[in-house]
Amino acid sequence: MLKTLIFDMDGVLVDSMPYHVQAMKRIFDQLGVHMDHKLIYEREGEKTVDIVRLLLEKESANDGRFDLEEIVKRYIEEFQLLVELRIFDGMFECLNILRHRYKLAVVSGADRPIVHNILENLYPGIFSVVVTGDDIVHGKPAPDPYLKAVEMLGMQKDECIVIENAPVGVQAAKAAGLCCIAVPTYLNPQELQQADLVVMDHNLLIDLLLNLHEDKPETCIRECTHLEKL
């Protein structure tokens, strides 16, 4: 029986990724290192320190000159200065209904101060469990963040559905043995084809979530006949 919905945050609950990219670009400009914007969208959901490491490696700049933790610290400060928090239309109202039907959780690769600030301001009292990039050693695409959430929730895997919008997040959910719905907020839908179901926008996602049946997750997915898996 479906008992739990586990949400990624950036790109699913809040339209925040452009601010993450902007904040990171400002820091990399200060470092004098080129930054690949697309890589951040492709690797969205990973721990920030791992994304920073990849960005530096892509430009052959990860040679010991830079303190990764210091870059992450500066990025968090820059993000909090830049961000204009915006919920996707209808998501708060949707989750405010769903919290009376299911346990709700968030699993994000973002840093703890950012995640808790956003959730406390935009989704107060909605989520019973929150896992951030600071709460685990191995972040997405490893299954660890989702396995930790399932354990904290006290649920079985076949009682949960994950809602993601990034390839590494989908990969993490499937590696954890969880059913996964994806919404292509910033990327081509084909990049999310590992998900059990891809819905094309947040309006369809909200409609789907509000009409889920309390059956097993796989059954819930199969019954969504008006939506197509890629």
Give residue-wise pLDDT tens across range 117-152. Answer: 999 999 999 999 999 999 999 999 999 999 999 999
The pLDDT score that the predictor gives to residue 224 is 57
Residue 226 has pLDDT above 60, yes or no: no
Q: What is the pLDDT of residue 74?
A: 96
Is the pLDDT at 230 greater than 50? The verdict is: no
Could you tell me whether strands 103-107 and 129-131 are parallel, antiparallel, or unpaired per DSSP bridges?
Answer: parallel
Q: What is the pLDDT of residue 223?
A: 57
According to the model, what pLDDT value does residue 228 have?
A: 47
d(CA 9, CA 109): 9
17-82: CATH architecture: Orthogonal Bundle (1.10)
197-198 and 129-131: which strand pairing?
unpaired
CATH 3.40.50.1000 fits 4-16+86-222, yes or no: yes
Q: What is the pLDDT of residue 229?
A: 46
Sheet holding 103-107, edge to edge: 129-131, 103-107, 4-7, 160-164, 179-182, 197-198
Check whether 14 has a pLDDT greater than 50.
yes
The SS3 call for residue 188 is coil
- Specify the DSSP class assigned to residue 47: -
Q: Average pLDDT in the 183-210 region?
A: 95
Mean predicted lDDT score pLDDT of the chain: 91
Distance CA 183, CA 109 (A): 17
Instruction: Return the percentage of the chain with pLDDT > 70, whole number.
Output: 93
Angle between helices 202-210 and 91-98 (to 10 degrees): 20
CB 5 within 8 A of CB 98: yes
In the chain, domain spans: 4-16+86-222, 17-82
Distance CA 107, CA 6 (A): 7
pLDDT at 64: 78
Q: What percent of the chain has pLDDT over 90?
A: 78
- How far is the CA of 172 from the CAs of 27, 63, 65, 153, 177, in angstroms? 28, 29, 31, 17, 9
Q: What is the pLDDT of residues 28-81, one digit of tens each?
A: 999 999 999 888 988 888 999 999 999 999 888 776 789 999 999 999 999 989
Mean pLDDT, rounded, for 168-173:
97
